[in-house]
Amino acid sequence: MSEIDELVVSFIANVNINDDKTNEIAIKITNLIKHKKCKLVQIIVSLKDRFISEDEKERIKALKCLSSVLYNSEPDQLLKNDVSVIVNFYMSKITDNAVMLECFMGLNALMSMKYITIDETTKLLKFLQKDYQSKDYLAAVRNYPFEILLNVYNRWFTQLKDNKNFADLFIQTYISVASGEKDPRNLLISFQINKLIVTTFKVESFQFSQALFDILFSYFPITFKPPKDDPYRISNSDLKLALRSAISASDIFAQDAFSNLIDKLGATSPAIKNDTLLTLLACINKFGGKACIEFWLPMWTALKFEIMHGGDSSETYLDPLAENKSNDLITEGTTPQVSNLQSNYHLSLDILRALAYQLVELDESAFNKYVVHILDELKPNFEFTKDLRQSCNTLAAIGSANLITFNKVVDLALPLFLENTTEISKLKLMLLNLSYFLDSYIKVTKSLENDKEKLEDFIKNNHLNNSKDEILMILGMALTGNSKIEVTVRTLSVIQFTKMIKMEGYLTKEEMSLIIQYITETILTDNNKNIYCACLEGLKVISQTHEDLVYEVSLKELLNLLPNRFDELILYHKDDELIQVEVILKVILDFTTSRHVLIKESIVALSQKLTEVYITGDSEAVDYCFLILSTIYSLLDNNFAVLDENTVSEIKEQTEESLFSILKNNKGDNSILFDNQNLSLLSNILYFANVNFKRNQHQTELLRYTKLFVDTDKILENPSRLVLPYVKILSALDKDCKFDEASSVMERTVALIENSNKNAMTNLEKVGYMEMITILTNKWYNSNMESALIERYVNWDDQSTVNLEMIAWIGKGLIMKNSASSSIILSHFLELLNDKNIGIIVSKLFELFVVDINSMNKRKGITWTNNVKLLYKQKFFNDVFQNLVTSYKAPNLSLDIKCNYLTALSLILKHTPNKLVEQFMVDLLPMLLQALEMPNSEVRISALDTLKDTTEKFGLLITENIDTLIPLLLKLVVPGSKFNDVLVRLLSLQLLGLLATSVPLNYLKPYKEEVINGLLLTLSDKKRVVRKQCIDTRQIYFELGQVPFE
Amino acid sequence: MSDYLNENPDVIDVDELPSRKEDSNELFENFGSKEAIERKKLLLKIDHSPKSQVLHDIELLDKLLLLNNTPDLISDTESLPSENDSDTNEFQIRGSEDSNITDEYADEPADPVDVQEIYDLTAHICDPEHPLTLGQLSIVNMPDIEVHDDGNPNHLAQIVIRITPTITHCSLATLIGLGIRVRLERALPPRFRITILVKKGTHNSEQQVNKQLNDKERVAAACENEQLLGVVSKMLQTCK
């Protein structure tokens, strides 16, 4: 046997058994032919017997072998003679229904060969047109005629264009092949070929347009739910889009498409309507104005109903399969498509707009007819104030096509409603109506974005310009001329003002300034929530495009309004309007969000204001200073991510001097330095000014600050409040800076703390020095020096509170960087919990390890400040939790000691994210339940807090313990019992309420009466908050299991 | 109930109902030092977000300062007087003889049950035929509520509410009254006696309605009726 024979035999053996293998063999054979090692004839010869075999299967296999070889051959591999012979061979076999698939496969391959002749092609097409009955075959077979057509099209493209007969044959063949097709994969190709035909052979296909259109429209509206494991991954929207683009492919369909689609608009299903509208829109845009002239009237009549009466349907309703699809996509790991579904209402408006555009492009008089007709129909609505929203929306949509349509609509529609009126209800309607035309303006400018010339033309020549002054006046009157009770009108006015600023090129700078001024004044003097939000939104939106203007007109004004000295926290503005300082600061805080110029200017100006207030103010000014400091701090903290290095550096350069002058100039009792909160805020502000400061300057800054605080102010010789700013600055600076004095600073700090009894150190100072120890430990003691550090400063013999506390702070510094040495301190602390005398002190210190100090937190993009490991809390919790639980369960523990463990645990839990706690829940829950009985309200509160989270997340676990939990909680709600303070009672009540949502009804129902009666005493609680919660919780239990009434 | 008896009642916006002004402060009443609380109140005026970092920092500093003081200082008592306290009740409460009550609780100032509280309990009940609350429809009004309470848990207290039906022949006045009664009886301790009346001259059959509203037997019977209770529950759903 020759090599060819072997391969052929093994191919035949593998057919329908191992498709990969057969393919591989086919490629091998093809390669042999390609390299002239054998001839195609040889294959045919070796298959000869099988071709004429009686056995159907044999024939199929043989043909498949030949077809596969052809399929893998290059188009120019076969010579003219070969092609002709093989085509004839296949054509002779094609009457054999059993082998149709393989025949088509081979012929398909042949159709794209270089040496195929037009005659042979014609022969095949004729066969397909006349003798091929598509409905006799399976979808897989039916696929080939489409493929063949596509190949013919690609191979004979130029001939088809030149030869009308050939083209006619091609089209007729397509019509015959495509009729009655149902398989989605074949439909996709069918639609594609249909589109090719009508776009490339427009003239030839004209006589077949009806048939071609019917082939398409018989599927409309297409719906298809892909079966599971669909090998072709065809989705409903693929089919929809293919069909839509085929229907809208050429205006030869115009007549048929428009009349049929308009019919379909009468459909009741919103999904079908949606598809119809989208297709209609595509058709209008493709077919052009000429085709539309005849049809705009019936279209308008059909759409009018949709616009006037159709509600906005929800998205899933419009495309029932959309949800499914996106889910599938996500699970398959591909990017989910963003659904672009529009409501039918908006689509209808888009169609009207498209019609306007096409008509006006074609002929202005046609457009005029269109618009005048619609306007005439809508006019009565204005008279009787009926369906105004829809009417205005319709007109505005038509206007938003281009300059001409816009002007026409403005000329016709604006006089219908635009008039100044003092009647509030009329004014309200007018403002609402106007809004659509302003939107229309914005839409036109957006569509002209890429065409500067046309855009300028529009801005200059649009007719809305003529009414500008009138609109401004009416809006201004609506805002300022009405009493404050008219919330709706005033809010609308602010919204329209904002919109006008968004309209590109419409307003002059002066007009915008005026509007900003209006809005600024309104936001300050009106305390209605809606108006406040509208104004805030307005200012924010305007800042996006006109930041400088907002700064000049609004922010500067706000800052100027802030008093330079303190009298009262209320200012008098013009016209006797009261403005509170708090309101101004709130506005500044709210609207500057993420505009870095505004933030910077606010911070700088507020710092200057602070200095002035500080210099002139008296002791009353402390609260005012506090407010300003809080605002600066919040501005820095909230906008940390937007403030880049340059901005921060500018802020620092412009404010530092004045801030320091406040620190240094401490006179009398109004000093910021002597107010704990103010000093702390100011120190934190200094932290923000340094943390993002130019990093290459940090070394210089470190030296400078150290000189200033340590050498000049001598904060390490005697206790000084200035340690707070110093420690915050230290924590902001780069940890890679060389800090030679670190160990001496540490030494002296520790000495100061040790002597705190003698040197009259205040609590605030102590906090500062303690934090200093943490920062130094964390940043400037590397792992080699840690053991030396512990040896030097950690002294377990001294059990004074101060010493223990200091050790805890050292521990905090180590724990944050996941240092191995931290375990020494931790294990010692855990042991001390068991100590009768100091256990209670130690238990409270556990909170220090995990408490979040803002200046020590990790921030996105900042890597150089402190050594804070991302998961340090998780590690810490893992380390400590088991130990605490085991120790707690030890036999013969006194209640006091148990309480220590619980206190420590609950304090840690307070600062640990719940996610970390979840895995320990099974062990934790019994402890929490016991904690509820501990004679300490802090412990109870913390346990209740954790239980509340647990209830929300682990309903099952709680359900198991419901019989212990409910009686316990009912004890905790009793007013006047020891350790049941307000928060305990309140949280217990909230937890009881929560149980009703997370515990299954059948478990909870038995407790219904018990809870309702158990809460009776609490109804007379002294505290109103508790009573309120008690009533709410009780109500929940009253309704438990009650049949809802509908 | 497709046909409304009164299609177009005057409606008051929810925001404009009378309410207790200092509610937000109650959040921190028992937490931290006096200075910190004052500051927090001040801060709330410029920043309402509960996640505010400044607020967090103030609490933190307060905590650290207290930690430093003496470990036991985190007190269990609510040392701060709330603003709406009246002094009148304190004497009687201290005089109460319940031995279970701790000294701290006894010393604690009380928030008395006042007209506003009763108003808040009832004004948010939903009208049975409009999707609006009794407060919005001005069926319940502050001036028409009387509270007679000396604060002593051993004494009886009385509450009188006069409701104003939206129209004089309102057939649902009794249902509204029942809703109010159920709400108050669930919300107030048993020592409170509740009287619900129709405001003089606002209903055609005033006497009859008043009698129905305060007839114990009738009320009890109504509450046994599952369906009626369902309607009342639905009315109470909007309460906050």
DSSP letters for A735-789? TTS--TTHHHHHHHHHHHHHTTTTTT--HHHHHHHHHHHHHHHHHH--HHHHHHH
Write out the two tokens for A682.
């100011």
Fold annotation for B113-236: GMP Synthetase; Chain A, domain 3 (3.30.300)
Q: How far is B102 from chain A (nearest CA, A)?
A: 6
CA distance A544 to chain B (A): 23
Q: How many angstroms separate the CA atoms of B160 and A650, rounded?
A: 66
- At residue B147, φ and ψ (nearest 5 deg) are -125, 125
ipTM: 0.78
Q: Report in angstroms the alpha-carbon separations of B5 from A426, B9, B168.
A: 28, 10, 11
Q: Which two tokens stand for residue A576?
A: 């006797």
Q: Is the CB of A245 inside 8 Å of chain B's CB atoms?
A: no
Q: Is A937 on the interface with B (CB under 8 A)?
A: yes
Which one of A1022, A1032, A1039 makes the best mutation probe of the B interface by having the most chain B beta carbons within 10 Å? A1022
Q: Which residues contact residue A442 at a Cβ distance below 8 angstroms, ignoring those fewer than 6 apart?
A: A499, A502, A503, A504
Residues with Cβ within 8 Å of A335's Cβ and at least 6 positions away in sequence, in order, are: A329
The pTM (predicted TM-score) of the whole model is 0.72
The per-residue DSSP string of A624-640 comes to: HHHHHHHHHHHHHHHTT
Which pLDDT belongs to residue A992? 92
Q: Which residues of chain B have pLDDT under 50?
A: 1-7, 23-30, 70-99
Give dist(CA A617, CA A622) in Å, integer. Answer: 8
* Helix intervals (H) in A35-79: 40-51, 56-72
**Pairwise CB contact (< 8 Å): A586 & B45:** yes
Q: Give the closest of B52, B56, B111 to A1023, CB-based.
A: B111
A692/A758 Cα distance (integer angstroms): 39
Q: Map residue B162 onto helix, strand or coil.
A: strand
Instruction: Provide the residue ranges of all domains of chain A, joining segments of one domain with +.
Output: 555-693, 932-1046
DSSP for B194-206, please give it: EEEEEPTTS-TTH
Judge whether A123 and A163 are in contact, CB under 8 Å: no
* CA A172 vs CA A144, A169, A178, A248, A415: distances in Å: 17, 5, 10, 21, 57
Cβ distance of B52 and A634 shorter than 8 Å = yes
Mark the ranges of chain A whose per-residue pLDDT is less than 70: 1, 310-342, 566-577, 594, 617-620, 666-672, 1043-1046
Nearest to A1025 among B26, B53, B76 (CB): B26
| Residue A696: predicted pLDDT | 86
- Residue A386 near residue A429 (C-beta atoms within 8 A): no
Q: CA A814, A815, A817, A822 torsion: positive or negative?
A: positive
Contact flag A631-B46 (C-beta cutoff 8 Å): yes
C-alpha distances in Å from residue B132, one per residue of A488, B4, B139, B235, B237 = 20, 13, 11, 10, 12
Q: What is the pLDDT of residues A860-873, one digit of tens each?
A: 777 777 888 878 88
Question: C-alpha angle A867/A873/A878, rounded to 5°?
Answer: 130
pLDDT at B77: 40
Torsion sign, CA atoms A306, A308, A314, A317 = negative
Q: Give the gap in angstroms from C-alpha A897 to the nearest C-alpha of chain B.
A: 16
A851: contact with B, CB 8 A cutoff = yes
How many residues are recorded in chain A? 1046
For residues B197 and A823, give the distance between their C-alpha atoms in angstroms, rounded to a whole number.
Answer: 71
CA trace torsion A812, A815, A819, A821 (10° rounding): 60
Shortest CB distance from A626 goes to which of B26, B42, B105? B42
**Partner-chain residue, chosen from A529, A638, A767, that has the shortest CB–CB distance to B64:** A767
Q: Is cis: bond before B153, omega within 30 of 0?
A: no
- Can you give the length of chain B in residues? 240
From chain A, the residues in CB contact with B236 under 8 A are 1035
CB within 8 Å: A586 and B57? no
H-state helical runs in A464-580: 468-480, 487-502, 509-525, 529-545, 547-550, 556-561
In this complex, do A937 and B60 lie within 8 Å of one another by their Cβ atoms? no
Kindly list the residues from chain A whose CB atom is less than 8 angstroms away from the CB atom of residue B65.
Answer: 676, 763-764, 767
State the angle between helix axes of A937-953 and A895-910 in degrees (0 to 180), rounded to the nearest 10.
Answer: 50
* Number of cross-chain residue pairs from A and B with Cβ atoms under 8 Å apart: 160
pLDDT at A322: 43
For testing the chain A interface, which of B13, B52, B67, B94 should be mutated: the one with the most A CBs within 10 Å? B67
Across the interface, whether the CB atoms of B46 and A763 are under 8 A apart is answered: no
How many Å apart are CA A977 and CA A981, to the nearest integer? Answer: 8
Residues of B within 8 A of A854 (CB-CB) are: 53, 56-57, 60
Which residues touch B129 (CB under 8 Å, ≥6 apart)?
A: B1, B4, B5, B172
Are the Cβ atoms of A851 and B63 closer than 8 angstroms? yes
| Residues in chain A closer than 8 A to B54 (CB atoms) | 630, 633-634, 637, 681
B-proximal residues of A, 966-995, CB under 8 Å: 975-979, 981-983
Q: In the prediction, which pLDDT does B160 show?
A: 92
The Cα-based distances of A990 to A550, A902, A933, A996, B25 in angstroms read 46, 22, 18, 10, 19
Closest chain A CA to residue B191: A1020
Q: Please judge whether A1022 and B105 are an interchain contact, meaning their C-beta atoms are less than 8 angstroms apart.
A: yes
Contacts of A505 (CB under 8 A, 6+ apart): A445, A455, A456, A459
Give the pLDDT score at A666.
60
Q: Considering CB atoms only, which of A763, A847, A1016 is closest to B69? A: A763
Mapped to the 3 state alphabet, what secondary structure does A858-915 carry?
Answer: CECCECCCCCCCCCHHHHHHHHHHHHHHHHHHCCCCCHHHHHHHHHHHHHHHHCCCHH
Q: Please give the Cα distance from B33 to B59 (Å, whole number).
A: 9
Residue A589 CB coordination number (10 Å):
21
| In the block, residue with structure tokens 């009208």 | B127
Tokens 């010493």 -> residue: A803
d(CA B63, CA B31): 10
Q: How far apart are CA A1024 and CA A1021, in angstroms?
A: 7
Q: What is the pLDDT of residue A191?
A: 92
Residue of A nearest to B183 (CA): A1035
Q: Count CB atoms within 10 A of the CB of residue A316.
A: 14
The per-residue pLDDT for range A967-983, each reduced to its tens digit, is: 999 998 888 777 788 88
Contact assignment for B57 to A681 by CB distance below 8 Å:
yes
Name the one residue in this structure whose structure tokens are 């240092």: A819
Domain boundary assignment for chain B? 22-83, 113-236
Report the distance separating Cα B226 and Cα B232, nearest Å: 10
Quick one: A328 exposed, middle or buried, by C-beta within 10 A (0-12, 13-18, 19+)? middle
Which residues of chain A does B234 touch, with a Cβ-Cβ cutoff of 8 Å? 1044-1045
